[in-house]
Amino acid sequence: MDTLFRLVNLQQQHYQQQSDQSNSSRTSSSSKSSTQQNQPHHAQLLLETAKAFADKNSGRVKELVWMLNELGSPYGDTDQKIAFYFLQALFSRMTDSVSPWTTFGHVACNGAIMDAFEGETKLHIIDISNTYCTQWPTLLEALATRTDETEHLRLTTVVAGGGEAVVQKVMREIGQRMEKFARLMGVPFTFNVIHHTSDLSNLNLSELDVKDDETLAVNCVGALHAARRRDSVVSMFRSLRPRIVTVVEEEADLNFGSDGFARTCNERLMLERAAGRAVVDLVACPSDDSAERREPAARWSRRMHGGGFSPVAFSDEVSDDVRALLRRYREGWSMAQCSDSAGIFLSWKDQAVVWASAWRP
């Protein structure tokens, strides 16, 4: 919530400036309170949501989140976008503590990446994910403490979609924190952001600035399903000659309807409710799911095979780590090897909900 608070503050400042400019006759002493009054609905909402969450006022949180969800949109104006991102981040932060939904993928991928990077010192990760770089602190810590060598890590984050201004703000915050944290860990670290607005398959590879002497990993969490030309994306990954590609997607083993809405969205909600997410009972799913279509793991696997990749099994250690992770959550979560495809599933009561896999050319 810290980063989010800052984001809200940024927005407040923005409005502060605006109101200063347009109301130069106002006295400065009243500027603070007037900021409060002038504050558009969104910023106020964000603040209140954050506070309600901190107070563990679940009823209030529900209300506010519902409103935010109504108002926020990745396609709207800056306010709406900020509200949208905020909601996303809030959502994942909240649920992390009660559900291993995102952490599962992170632990599995980081484990596979660490194994693939074994013995290498110049590392480059191209990260195309929807989890706001929350995957990387634990990897940085692992690099700092569990390796024999001094690794230098470059992290290039590809942010798909979103408005320029918002992405800039959000990613600058995140980048600064990543850099600070890497310094804390003592890992030489470089952070770059690429904001890419069209289909992922159009990504300009030269922008990624992959160097010859680097060991490359491509990490794709919840991002493949947003691409239209998926086979092209896979080929593109292949052309980068990565040491490893890690893919995490929500598992959809039902066909989606003709209206294009992802059933898994609602399934996910159902499952999450069943899993006991006590805090929020969302009415609507995060909206980035609505337009995109998910595929089952078996289909993603076929695409990867078709693109020239072979699966890499997660090591015993990584599997142990994942299982240990799941033990810290409620009963009902389990890890399962995929029978008809590569990778592993996170399952809730034996229903696969998230798929994680690793591949090499």
Partner 1 sequence: MATNRFLCEICGKGFQRDQNLQLHRRGHNLPWKLKQRTSKEPRKRVYVCPERTCVHHHPSRALGDLTGIKKHFCRKHGEKKWKCEKCEKRYAVQSDWKVHLKTCGTREYKCDCGTVFSRRDSFITHRAFCDALAEETARVAAATNMNNISISNNNISYHFIGTNPLGPATPQHFSPIFKSISTVDQPIDPTNRRPSLWPHQSTLVHESVGSIGTVSSGSAYNDPIPCLNPSPSPSDQYQLNWVFGNKNGTVPSLFSIQTPSASTSATALLQKAAQIGATSSDQAFLGSLGYKCSNNQGKDGNKFCGLYGTTPEMSIHGSDLESSAVTDLSTINQFQMYPSKRQNIQSEDGGGGGQTRDFLGVGNGIQVQPICHPSSVNGWI
- Return residues touching partner 1 (CB under 8 A): 1-3, 5-6, 50-51, 53-54, 93-94, 96-98, 103, 107, 118-119, 121, 134, 136-138, 140-141, 144-152, 174, 176-178, 180-181, 183-188, 316-317, 320, 323-325, 327-328
User: Nearest distance from residue 349's CB to partner 1, in Å?
Assistant: 21
User: Nearest distance from residue 204's CB to partner 1, in Å?
Assistant: 29
Q: Is the Cβ of residue 183 or residue 228 nearer to partner 1 in the bound state? A: 183
Q: Is the Cβ of residue 94 or residue 285 nearer to partner 1 in the bound state? A: 94
Q: Is the Cβ of residue 112 or residue 174 nearer to partner 1 in the bound state? A: 174
Which three-class secondary structure string do you get for 11-54? HHHHHHHHHHHHCCCCCHHHHHHHHHHHCCHHHHHHHHHHHHHH
User: Nearest distance from residue 324's CB to partner 1, in Å?
Assistant: 5
Separation in Å, CA 273 to CA 115, 211, 266: 35, 45, 10
Output the CA torsion 76→78→82→83 (10° steps): -50
Query: If phi over 0 gives left and psi between -120 and 50 gives alpha, with beta otherwise, what is residue 200?
Result: alpha
Q: Is the Cβ of residue 87 or residue 224 nearer to partner 1 in the bound state? A: 87
Q: What is the C-alpha separation between 280 and 54, in angstroms, rounded?
A: 13
User: Nearest distance from residue 139's CB to partner 1, in Å?
Assistant: 10
Q: Is the Cβ of residue 133 or residue 265 nearer to partner 1 in the bound state? A: 133
Task: Please give the structure tokens belonging to residue 107.
Answer: 């632990």
Give the helix/strand (H/E) hosting 305.
helix 297-306
- Contact indicator for 171, 157 with CB cutoff of 8 Å: yes
Q: Is the Cβ of residue 308 or residue 332 nearer to partner 1 in the bound state? A: 332
User: Nearest distance from residue 163's CB to partner 1, in Å?
Assistant: 22
The phi, psi pair for 246, rounded to 5°, reads -110, 135
User: Nearest distance from residue 170's CB to partner 1, in Å?
Assistant: 12
Residue corresponding to tokens 């605006």: 18
Q: Is the Cβ of residue 88 or residue 264 nearer to partner 1 in the bound state? A: 88
Give the helix/strand (H/E) hosting 67.
helix 58-71
Question: Which residues are within 8 A (CB) of 28 and not within 5 positions of it... i.e. 6 or more apart?
Answer: none
DSSP strand E in the chain: where? 122-129, 152-160, 189-196, 215-221, 244-250, 310-311, 333-337, 344-348, 351-360
User: Nearest distance from residue 351's CB to partner 1, in Å?
Assistant: 23
Q: Is the Cβ of residue 26 or residue 323 nearer to partner 1 in the bound state? A: 323
User: Nearest distance from residue 83's CB to partner 1, in Å?
Assistant: 17
